Structure 1
Amino acid sequence: MKLFSTYRVLAFVVGVLLAFCSFVALPLRYIPADGTDLQQLGENLSVLWVAHGWAFMAYVVVTFLLSRKLRWSIAFTLVNLAAGLIPLLIFFMEHRVNQKVRAEHPEVVAPSAA
C-alpha cells in the first residue's frame, strides 16, 4: 500500500526536521550573542521550521487516512499525530506503527504482484 510507504517517509522527514530544528537551529539562534556568526547561522537555519510545518501538514493528512483505513484507536491515532510535534517521539511511533501494521495487516506491507 502506497499510503503506508508515504507515512513512513513523511514520519522520517518530519522527525529529522523537528530534531534538527529543535536541537541545532533553535539553540544556535538564541544561545550565542546577537550578531555572531553562530547566531546568524541559527537565524538562517530557522527557515527549516517552515519546511517542518509543510511536511507536518502532509504527515497529519496521511496519518489520519492510514488510521481510518487500518481502524486504529482514537488514542493511538492522536499519539501518532502529536508525535510530529514532540522531538524524537516520531521515530518511536513510526517503529511502533511499522510493527503494528506488519502484525495486524501484512497485506499492506507485502509487495504487490502487479
Structure 2
Amino acid sequence: MFSLFNIFRIVAFLEGLSYILLLGIATPVKYLMDDPQYVKLLGMPHGILFMAYIVLAFFLKPERNWPNKTFMFILLASIIPFGTFYVDRKYLK
C-alpha cells in the first residue's frame, strides 16, 4: 500500500500543481476577465493540499531525520512556485 512518505510525495505534487494553476491561470482570469469562478474552483482544493503538505511534513520530519534547516526549506517550498517540485527532486527521491 501507500506509505506516509509516498502520500507526502503525491500531496507535494498536487499542491505544487494547484498552486501553479491558481497563480498562472485562475488569478489572471480573475483580474483580466473579471471572472472569479476559477479562483473559487481552485482555491479550496489548493488550501486543503497546502495544509496536508504542512501536516505531513511535520509527521515525516522525525521519520526521515531531516535537520531543521532542511525541514524549514521543505516547509518554505510550499509557498514558492515550483518549490514542491524541487523538494521532490532533491529531498524525496
Q: TM-score, with normalisation over the residues of structure 1? A: 0.74
- The residue that corresponds to 2:49 in the other structure is 55
Structure (1 or 2) with the greater helix fraction: 2
User: Structure 2: which amino acid aligns with 1:39?
Assistant: D
Selected match of 1:46 from 21, 39, 46: 39
- The residue that corresponds to 1:8 in the other structure is 9
Note if 1:84 corresponds to 2:78: yes
RMSD: 1.3
Q: Secondary structure at the match of 1:46?
A: helix
Runs of 4+ deviating beyond 6 Å: none
Q: Which runs of 5+ in 2 are unaligned?
A: none
Q: Answer with 1 or 2: which has the greater Rg.
A: 1
Deviations 1:44-69 (A, max 9, x none): 11021221111111111111111121
Q: Percent identity at matched positions? A: 27
Structure of higher RCO (CA pairs closer than 8 Å, 6+ residues apart): 2
